[in-house]
Amino acid sequence: MSSPDADDHLKPWETVRRGLLMLVSSPGGAGKTSLSRRLVADFAGMRLSISATTRPPRPGEEEGREYFFKTREQFEAMIAAGELLEWAEVNGHLYGTPKAPVMAALEAGRDVMFDIDWQGARQVAESAPDDSVRIYILPPTWSDLSRRLHARAQDSEDVISQRLALGRREVTHWDEYDYVVVNKDFDSAYAELVHIYRAERMKPGRNPWLPPFVEGLLGETV
């Protein structure tokens, strides 16, 4: 699929927008990271939330790109200082969303994409119900998920088994989400994600420019 032009969903007169929070969850290996990063790359109005974690970096991961890597002490200090919007323990490691960049993006009228587990998605959606959109990504088959985790070759056999077991528990929360996408093929799943994003952006409450626009329409003399 060709890339949609950045912000081609924004209309020229749209000067005020209320940012939305796109919360994307899936079992590890179902493709949520590639899908969400592609959406952020294609839409200039969207920022990616980079989480903090106590998990050690995987081969190829970079500080500040995939995560901000923290010790448990540093992470607990962030919790104590109220610096996290939400946090959760996943597979023995702590993961959390730094609050300040999300607030700055929203104040600038940007949307924010979160790659987040079901616990974090639930916390954010509860604190900002009108601004949150929850999307669950499912693999087409469980063996496909296992194949993808092996193909990544980032984790040991033990860690892959743990991640598959964790994935089974994670998937039981699929029905808490507003949308579900089955990632059978990347391009089709991505197209579905773009449809969801575009439709959600067009909701009247996310477009405070609409009332004055309609007022202007009605005030026009023809």
* Contact yes or no for 140/188 (Cβ under 8 A): no
Piece of 110-118, 134-142, 199-207, 214-222 that binds ligand 5GP (CB under 6 A) = 110-118
Smallest separation, CB 117 to ligand 5GP (Å): 4
Checking DSSP bridges between strand 51-53 and strand 93-98, what pairing results, if any? antiparallel
Q: Is 99 in the site for ligand 5GP (CB under 6 A)?
A: no
Find the binder of ligand 5GP among 19, 20, 28, 43 (CB under 6 A): 28
Find the binder of ligand 5GP among 9, 17, 55, 152 (CB under 6 A): 55
* 162 vs 203: CA distance, rounded Å: 40
Strand locations in 81-148 (E)? 84-90, 93-98, 111-115, 132-138
Q: Is 21 in the site for ligand 5GP (CB under 6 A)?
A: no
* Contact yes or no for 48/62 (Cβ under 8 A): no
Instruction: Name the residue nearer to ligand 5GP (CB basis): 18 or 70.
Output: 70
Find the binder of ligand 5GP among 119, 146, 162, 207 (CB under 6 A): 119
* 44 vs 41: CA distance, rounded Å: 7
* 197 vs 202: CA distance, rounded Å: 9
Find the binder of ligand 5GP among 88, 133, 149, 181 (CB under 6 A): 88
Piece of 10-18, 88-96, 140-148, 177-185 that binds ligand 5GP (CB under 6 A) = 88-96
Residues 6+ apart with CB under 8 A from 153: none
For ligand 5GP, the binding residues (CB under 6 A) are 28, 51, 55, 86, 88, 90, 95-97, 115-117, 119-120
